[in-house]
Amino acid sequence: MAQEIERKYLLTGDGWKSLAEGIHYRQGYLSTVKERTVRVRTIGAKGYLTIKGVTVGISRLEFEYEIPIDDANELLEELCERPIIEKHRYKISYGGLVWEVDEFHGVNEGLVMAEVELESADQVIEKPTWVGEEVSGDPRYFNANLVDNPYKNW
């Protein structure tokens, strides 16, 4: 069983941008019901299928499997809910952790968030200066919810 424990934050500036090169992500959802989400994602030339359980606090079950890129692209084009989430992700090491900064495009243009995966929900972290308000508990910022309520509509 895999447990995902992560915190999400808005950013206070673009001081992060020179710290890593971004990679293009496309992701879509086959299911976005509260009890489970099923996501298809491409990262560069690789495809993935991810199943996530209900979020409790900042934790949830997560299972991720690599799938053939052609299958991932076909699932994104033919079966996933619209719109497809498009973003660049930047992975930045800081304070012994990897911070993943997502810069969204398309209907979510203008939204930039950082998330960090933790070992435990009560883990103490050192935040970089470019990390601002925590939004872990705000469901608007869940990628799956950006399909039904894109950032441009806020």
C-alpha angle 138-101-9 in degrees, rounded to nearest 5: 30
Does the active-site annotation cover 29? yes
> Read out DSSP for 70-99?
HHHHHHHHHTS-SSPEEEEEEEEEETTEEE
Catalytic position from the list 29, 90, 94, 141: 29
Q: Which CB contacts under 8 angstroms, 24+ apart, belong to 98-107?
A: 99/16, 99/128, 99/131, 101/11, 101/16, 101/20, 102/25, 103/22, 104/146, 104/151, 106/150, 107/83, 107/146, 107/150, 107/151, 107/152
Active site residues: 29
